[in-house]
Amino acid sequence: MAGADGDDSLYPIAVLIDELRNEDVQLRLNSIKKLSTIALALGVERTRTELLPFLTDTIYDEDEVLLALAEQLGSFTTLVGGPEFVHCLLPPLESLATVEETVVRDKAVESLRKISHEHSPVDLEAHFVPLVKRLASGDWFTSRTSACGLFSVCYPRVSSTVKAEIRQHFRNLCSDDTPMVRRAAASKLGEFAKVLELEYVKNDIIPLFTNLASDEQDSVRLLAVEACVSIAQLLPEEDLEALVMPTLRQATEDKSWRVRYMVADKFSELQKAVGPEITKNDLVPAFQNLLKDCEAEVRAAGAHKCPEVRLNIISNLDCVNEVIGIRQLSQSLLPAIVELAEDTKWRVRLAIIEYMPLLAGQLGVEFFDEKLNSLCMAWLVDHVYAIREAATNNLMKLVEKFGAEWAQNTIVPKVLAMANDPNYLHRMTTLFCVNALSEACGKDITTKLMLPIVLKMAADQVANVRFNVAKSLQRIGPVLDSNTLQSDVKPVLQKLGQDEDMDVKYFAQEAMTGRFLY
């Protein structure tokens, strides 16, 4: 099928024009999504000379279409002839970087950042940097916000003269009259600092950081806090106190809770960036204040961050309780406790288990049953043996604290239910729990509830479970009365003593020699 003028070679671009002028948005969107196919059909030269100019000059008002176009152009380098011609993609992306819709601008900037790396240093200065300058000095705030995301990708590969111009443009945007532009500059401050030479970090970035952290808009100030992490990592330790800490101290006491929230949220990253000495002298007192903040969101963010700090607070829970009270304590620390309990680092999970009896004593049995009981049971099936072992000992300490009746109603049924778990490791955990709980629970609960399950497990198909039954019977024997030992325990041990597995036979015979049977 030929185009209107009868020339087959013009057909693809003519069809695209017709589709993009169609009133059906979905049809226009589908056309944009198959741009790469159309470009392949046209070839690299016609893509550069016909398709890209058409896309640059054609204005669409549907954000979906513009977003798809911005995304497509980021992967168009080979379709225009490779890195030598990648600058041909700049005009349409520059247009897209100035539109009103934020997601479209962000996608255009993302694509520009992507193709910036495909420019040679010469092309970068000849084509890309002028685009950045045009955006940075544009009449509309939309173009100036887009420029903020492009400085860091071109700065490392340009001459010192151009670097100076780029720094000046960035300084201008940091003091722009429009808050949205200052916000965009603040969000890229840390990223830009990372590509600058150290002298310019000190001479340019630090004053910008200080000004942005004192901006009249709290949305700008909170982004300056985020940049603080990157900036602190770049400076020698001896410069941190003078150049960063005054601004950071100011942020911890900012009048806006959103800024204080950002400090709390970034606390663990700030702690690593400034080092142990400043953390000890400055950040720990600031952290204590954040945990007592008048805004619940700030307290929650503070409790949410930094495992070492949270564990330290939990380990001194009785002191903390005296300061802030049990109600606020439970509200602020519960999210942190839950997160620590599920932390990917098993040593963190282990630490929180060890503090669980202390927590139980401070929070009381009702709160514990409602909020923390399920955590304690979950640890029993953790994939790390050390966690399962600690969780077992934790149950024994909780029974000692809350009593045998609580254990009978709350813990023992859940432990015994694990005896039917398909995973033999979980079945063995049942036995370990029985070993730990028998003495704390006493003779009646052990005899009536736990012993029958242990005896039943003597027929388990897994030899490891069977020889642990023998070990459990030896362990709980002193708690049982002599009649039970003779009538129930001894026959099972005798049977296990004839087991086909050597280990089972050994531990059964070992248990049979125990004095409690005679």
Entry pTM:
0.59
Residues 51 and 40 sit within 8 Å (Cβ to Cβ) = no
Residues 46 and 13 sit within 8 Å (Cβ to Cβ) = yes
Quick: pLDDT tens for 16-36. Answer: 666 666 666 677 777 777 888
Q: Provide the residue count of the chain.
A: 518
Does 433 have pLDDT greater than 70? yes
For CATH 1.25.10.10, the residue range(s) in the chain are 188-286, 306-402, 417-518
- Give the pLDDT confidence score for residue 5 in this predicted structure: 41
Does 509 have pLDDT greater than 70? yes
Of 90, 71, 5, 1, nearest to 32 by C-alpha is 71
Of 151, 142, 246, nearest to 195 by C-alpha is 151
Q: Would you place residue 279 in the very low, low, confident or very high pLDDT band (cuts 50, 70, 90)?
A: confident
Surface-to-core class of residue 516, CB atoms within 10 Å of its CB (0-12 exposed, 13-18 middle, 19+ buried): middle
Neighbours of 126 (CB within 10 A): 12
* Rounded distance between C-alpha atoms, residue 451 and residue 434, angstroms: 9
Q: Would you place residue 3 in the very low, low, confident or very high pLDDT band (cuts 50, 70, 90)?
A: very low
Q: How far, in Å, are 440, 449, 490, 509 from residue 483 at the CA level?
A: 21, 17, 10, 20
Choose between 417 and 8: higher pLDDT: 417
Three-state DSSP at 518 gives coil
Does 310 have pLDDT greater than 80? no
The arithmetic mean of pLDDT across residues 365-384, rounded, is 84
The arithmetic mean of pLDDT across residues 44-64, rounded, is 81
* Rounded distance between C-alpha atoms, residue 442 and residue 407, angstroms: 11
Q: Would you place residue 98 in the very low, low, confident or very high pLDDT band (cuts 50, 70, 90)?
A: very high
Topology classification of domain 417-518: Leucine-rich Repeat Variant (1.25.10)
Phi-psi region of 43 (alpha: psi -120 to 50; beta: other; left: phi over 0): left
* Rounded distance between C-alpha atoms, residue 116 and residue 135, angstroms: 15
Of 57, 58, 51, 69, nearest to 22 by C-alpha is 58
Quick: pLDDT tens for 442-462. Answer: 999 999 999 999 999 999 999
Mean residue pLDDT of the chain comes to 85
Q: Would you place residue 51 in the very low, low, confident or very high pLDDT band (cuts 50, 70, 90)?
A: confident
The arithmetic mean of pLDDT across residues 48-77, rounded, is 83
Output the DSSP codes for 213-225. Answer: TT-SSHHHHHHHH
Task: Point out the least confidently predicted range of 54-63, 90-99, 241-250, 272-281.
Answer: 54-63
Q: Which residue is listed with tokens 């000495």?
A: 277
Three-state DSSP at 321 gives helix
Task: Point out the least confidently predicted range of 69-73, 311-315, 375-379, 485-489.
Answer: 311-315
Q: Would you place residue 110 in the very low, low, confident or very high pLDDT band (cuts 50, 70, 90)?
A: very high
Does 313 have pLDDT greater than 70? no
Quick: pLDDT tens for 191-223. Answer: 999 999 999 999 999 999 999 999 899 889 889
Neighbours of 344 (CB within 10 A): 6
Residues 80 and 48 sit within 8 Å (Cβ to Cβ) = yes
| Cα radius of gyration (the chain) | 34
CATH number at 306-402: 1.25.10.10
- Give the pLDDT confidence score for residue 1 in this predicted structure: 36
Of 51, 74, 155, 142, nearest to 103 by C-alpha is 142
Neighbours of 130 (CB within 10 A): 12
**Number of C-alpha atoms within 13 angstroms, CB side, residue 224?**
30
Topology classification of domain 188-286: Leucine-rich Repeat Variant (1.25.10)
Of 411, 404, 325, 405, nearest to 368 by C-alpha is 411
- Give the pLDDT confidence score for residue 88 in this predicted structure: 92
- Give the pLDDT confidence score for residue 195 in this predicted structure: 92
* Rounded distance between C-alpha atoms, residue 357 and residue 29, angstroms: 60
Does 308 have pLDDT greater than 70? no
Portion of the chain with pLDDT greater than 90, in percent: 42
- Give the pLDDT confidence score for residue 339 in this predicted structure: 76
Of 250, 206, 242, nearest to 227 by C-alpha is 206
Does 320 have pLDDT greater than 70? no
Work out the end-to-end distance of the chain between its first and last CA atoms, rounded to an integer number of angstroms. Answer: 102
- Give the pLDDT confidence score for residue 453 in this predicted structure: 94
Task: Point out the least confidently predicted range of 153-162, 343-352, 464-473.
Answer: 343-352
* Rounded distance between C-alpha atoms, residue 186 and residue 22, angstroms: 41
- Give the pLDDT confidence score for residue 290 in this predicted structure: 83
The arithmetic mean of pLDDT across residues 283-294, rounded, is 83
Choose between 299 and 113: higher pLDDT: 113
Q: How far, in Å, are 217, 292, 332, 459 from residue 265 at the CA level?
A: 19, 15, 14, 53
Does 7 have pLDDT greater than 50? no
Q: How far, in Å, are 274, 286, 300, 340, 444 from residue 279 at the CA level?
A: 7, 9, 20, 21, 53
- Give the pLDDT confidence score for residue 6 in this predicted structure: 40
Quick: pLDDT tens for 145-171. Answer: 999 999 999 999 999 999 999 999 999
